[in-house]
Amino acid sequence: MNSRRRSTVAVIDVGSTKVVVLVGDIGDTGDARILGLGVAPASGLSRGVIDNIQSAREAVGIAVEKAEQACGMRILSATIGISGMHIASQNNRGIIAVPDRTRPISMDDRQRVLESAGQISIPTNRQILHVIPRGYWVEGTDPVSDPVGMFGGRLDAETHIVTAAVSAVQNLTKCIEGAGVQVDDIVLESIASATAVVTEQERAQGVAVVDIGGSTTSVAVFDEGSVAHTACLPIAGSHLTHDLARVLRCPWESAEEVKCRYGAAFADASMANESIEIQAFGTQASKAVARAHVCEILQARTEEILEMVALELKRVGYLDKIAAGLVLTGGTSELHGLAEVAEARLGMPARIGMPRGYSGLSDIIGTPAYATSIGLVEYVLSAKERVAEPRDMHFEMPVGGLFKRLASLGRALMPQ
């Protein structure tokens, strides 16, 4: 097996509206290169979790088959994205004593303090997904990015720990394996999205990545270069469609089309005399509605989503700390004028997060709707590089131990 095939990875993003399978490797420039894409309409999901394994498995199988045909390789294993209201997170601190002050702090010391900071008490129905280092302190001084090589008798570390419901993880794993694909790893989707849309400067100065998907909105807060908080809110794009379908009294499919083609996060004067023809219930096959009315309906729900994000940021104390403001991504973030409404409503900078740092198929997947999928590819490729270079492994401690990560990365994509 050549080096190119060994570096090839596959990811599966099981979303509320679509299932996306991407195959990628590291291109000549060092960025992620997308080799194959498979997309299928989602089925069997509700609010980010699987509620019908059979339907979800069929959707995953269709997307996997399309990706295999596109890249010319068989997908045996993949990394999976996860989201949903069952996700929870907390920060935790660990302390160890360095036995010999005359020698510098080693990678083993760093690993020991991470293990200490990653030990929390959780119920038996929950499991840890990520233990992500936030910073190190040597002898209680100012935080350092890497303590290896420094001298001191005490080493502290703070980690961000993400947990998930065991049942949700098991159902997702069962769904993927039922489609003939082994699960290498499971990654929180908001962290993956941030990998694709956030700059290092934004991470350093403080930013909140808001991924507005089909049925949930995921939030990941970064402060001083590392993730500080993650959460999932039970409101997203499907609520906008539901509002249109209910108020306009039209079929769901018609409401979704109106939202995507004519929708905006606010109504302006240019829409005053513009009307839209939509499907209708009853004796009439269609009817005309004012576009301004459509946008007013969408604006009300959009502002509610943004206010819920602001309340979450305020609850954890980051509303006034994120200098870079919001990076909005996900399919619903493509709603015209959303960033402008966010800035006006929340009084902070906001922009739409377009996926970056990759090559290949950019004309198809170069939109916020694919930010999570592309971020998963970049995340996994970066993890493979960290395994290859042990000094960099401190950026995230693999859940379940190093051997689990090494074993999962040993599986490859085989030619058809």
The four Cα atoms 374, 379, 380, 384 give a dihedral, to 10 degrees, of 140
- Residue in the structure block whose two tokens are 């606010």: 266
In this predicted structure, the answer to whether residue 404 has a pLDDT above a threshold of 90 is: no
Distances (CA, A) of 140 to 136, 221, 398, 413: 9, 25, 26, 46
Lowest mean pLDDT among 103-112, 116-125, 236-245, 391-400: 391-400
Q: What confidence tier does 43 reach under pLDDT thresholds 50, 70, 90?
A: confident
Domain positions in the chain? 88-165, 237-300
CATH topology of domain 88-165: Dna Ligase; domain 1 (3.30.1490)
Q: The CATH number of 237-300 is which of 3.20.20.70, 3.90.640.10, 3.40.50.1100, 3.30.70.2390?
A: 3.90.640.10
Pairing state of beta strands 9-14 and 77-82?
Answer: parallel
Q: What is the DSSP string of 348-398?
A: S-EEE----SEESSHHHH-SGGGHHHHHHHHHHHHHHHHHHSGGGGGG-BP
Q: What is the DSSP string of 247-301?
A: HHT--HHHHHHHHHHH-BSS--GGGTT-EEEEE-STT-SEEEEEHHHHHHHHHHH
> What is the pLDDT averaged over residues 187-200?
96
> What is the pLDDT averaged over residues 231-241?
94
Q: What confidence tier does 386 reach under pLDDT thresholds 50, 70, 90?
A: low
In this predicted structure, the answer to whether residue 102 has a pLDDT above a threshold of 50 is: yes
Q: Would you state the pLDDT for residue 180?
A: 95
Distances (CA, A) of 385 to 38, 281, 392, 404: 25, 56, 8, 16
336 and 264 Cβ atoms separated by less than 8 Å: yes
- Residue in the structure block whose two tokens are 């007013």: 296
Residues belonging to the chain: 416
- Residue in the structure block whose two tokens are 């943004």: 306
Measured CA to CA, the distance from residue 86 to residue 102 in angstroms comes to 46
In this predicted structure, the answer to whether residue 269 has a pLDDT above a threshold of 60 is: yes
- Percentages helix, strand, coil for the chain (3-state, rounded to 5) are 40, 30, 30
State in Å, rounded, how far the first CA of the chain is from the last one. Answer: 14
- Residue in the structure block whose two tokens are 């808001």: 210
